[in-house]
Amino acid sequence: MMGIIRLAAILFAFEALFYVLLWFYLRSLRRERLEEEWEERHPGDPADSPERDEFLERSMADFQTSLRARLVGLVFILPTLAVAAIIYFVNYR
């Protein structure tokens, strides 16, 4: 029983670390794409205009809500189910 608890704790720690790293990485990619999109639409505007900042903040807020749901499923649920399935098939079949 202690082995299962240890496995769950280690798995959760790795999943949480991977979640945070992936969240920052995907967020930075999306922000870069939005900045490039702004530059294409407004080629003469300065890079630090209030309109640009508002556009980035609004777009990133929408992206963050969808990103959290997808990452929770991909990082926490799928690997946990995979490990549970492996444990089941190895021990009970």
Q: Does the model's pTM come out above 0.85?
A: no
Length of the chain: 93
Q: Yes or no: say if 34 and 58 are a contact pair by the CB < 8 Å rule.
A: no
Q: What is the pLDDT of residues 27-86, one digit of tens each?
A: 999 999 999 999 999 888 777 788 888 999 998 988 888 888 788 888 888 999 999 899
Closest alpha carbon to 38 in 61, 55, 57, 60 = 55
Query: Where do the domains of the chain lie?
Result: 2-92
